[in-house]
């Protein structure tokens, strides 16, 4: 097993520098926020009664987080369309945001093309590719992502601009104070979780060690539902590992009954419960009682508490924590976290059809 305190581990297994993208997250968020607040859009773009975000994978998770934040204000319904074809409920009162970091995501392009005849208020968020070319041809405003990384490592540029644009259009309350708190939380965590911080005092390294050789199941609730999904996908893509996620309170109505069988599985499972002080008190009790059930069943588990006060700070802090855990798991698995060979293979196969 790799030594997480040995600098040679990272030089050998991370030649593409995924760790540097993790280091840069606070700065990425700051730059993306400033760019979004400067971005000009037609004033009538604020005259909408819903928003739909088209995207897949790392380009869609930003939309999911935005949906969760806007739901707290009960002002504007936001949905995320992760598939081919025109999304439902699309009309002239819809803000349609098309998000694809690469600009070549075929599901997203399909949905955009089929949406073009509808007089929705359209905006494209991309780094280039076919999507940028098509949007320019159609006269659709383009927010250009100027950051080079795998899509999952450009998370700040897929989420923060959405929040900034919503604020600029008056579709959410002013998040400036929450954003400053989030940057403070990210900077503190970045120092605590970086590879230069030894295992003995690095909770991300410690959790990755407990996840090594195990099937990870991430539990979340409320504002951490999408964060749990992000943990799952990062463990998949960075760690090259099986992982799943489930949500409270629904999991209390089914998943907890499945802890019994097969008997061989329980020793190879590690559950990670993401918890927030902002959750409903009854949900927090469910966390506690569920851990009691897991203890009796012999299921390994950890609870990770969100830091910060605002929903935004708690969400972003736990995302960075999960990103570091997935990175360290890749090191323990002896793999480079950056390549995604299975996804590349699938795209090549689809391109031939």
Which residues are identified as catalytic? Answer: 237, 253, 347
d(CA 92, CA 78): 15
Helix (H) or strand (E) holding 216: strand 215-220
Q: If we measure between CA atoms, which residue out of 168, 159, 188 comes closest to residue 42?
A: 168
Two tokens, residue 180: 């400053």
Q: If we measure between CA atoms, which residue out of 260, 329, 271, 342 comes closest to residue 300?
A: 271
d(CA 188, CA 245): 27
d(CA 198, CA 192): 9
d(CA 275, CA 307): 10
d(CA 265, CA 262): 6
**Residues 6 or more apart in contact with residue 149 via CB below 8 angstroms:** 21
Q: How far apart are the first and last CA of the chain?
A: 41
Contact 281, 240 (CB under 8 A): no
Contact 153, 171 (CB under 8 A): no
Burial (CB < 10 A; 0-12, 13-18, 19+), residue 260, is exposed
């Amino acid at each position: 097993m790799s030594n997480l305190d040995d600098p040679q581990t990272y030089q050998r297994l991370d030649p593409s520098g995924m760790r540097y993208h993790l280091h840069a997250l606070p700065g990425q968020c700051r730059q993306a926020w400033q760019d979004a607040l400067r971005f000009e859009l037609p004033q009538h773009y604020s005259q909408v009664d819903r928003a739909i975000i088209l995207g897949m994978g790392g380009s869609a998770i930003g939309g999911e987080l935005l949906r969760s934040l806007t739901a707290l204000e009960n002002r504007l319904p936001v949905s995320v369309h992760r598939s081919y074809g025109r999304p439902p409920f699309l009309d002239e009162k819809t803000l349609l945001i098309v998000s694809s970091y690469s600009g070549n995501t075929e599901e997203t392009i399909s949905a955009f093309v089929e949406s073009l005849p509808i007089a929705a208020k359209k905006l494209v968020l991309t780094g280039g590719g076919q999507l940028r070319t098509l949007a320019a041809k159609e006269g659709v405003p383009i927010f250009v992502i100027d950051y080079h990384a795998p899509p999952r490592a450009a998370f700040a540029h897929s989420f923060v601009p959405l929040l900034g644009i919503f604020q600029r259009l008056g579709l959410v309350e002013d998040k400036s104070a929450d954003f400053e708190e989030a940057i403070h939380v990210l900077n503190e965590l970045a120092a605590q979780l970086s590879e230069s911080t030894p295992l003995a005092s690095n909770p991300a390294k410690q959790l990755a060690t407990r996840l090594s050789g195990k099937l990870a199941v991430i539990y979340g609730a409320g504002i951490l539902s999408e964060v749990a999904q992000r943990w799952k996908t990062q463990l998949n893509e960075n760690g090259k590992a099986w992982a799943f996620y489930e949500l409270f309170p629904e999991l209390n109505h089914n998943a907890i009954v499945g802890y019994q069988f097969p008997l061989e599985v329980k020793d190879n499972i590690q559950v990670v419960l993401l918890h927030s002080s902002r959750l409903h008190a009854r949900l927090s009790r469910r966390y506690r009682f569920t851990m009691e059930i897991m203890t009796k069943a012999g299921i390994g588990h950890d609870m990770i508490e969100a830091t910060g006060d605002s929903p935004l700070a708690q969400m972003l802090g736990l995302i960075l924590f999960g990103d570091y855990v997935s990175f360290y798991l890749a090191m323990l698995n002896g793999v480079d976290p950056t390549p995604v060979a299975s996804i590349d293979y699938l795209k090549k196969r689809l391109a031939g059809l």
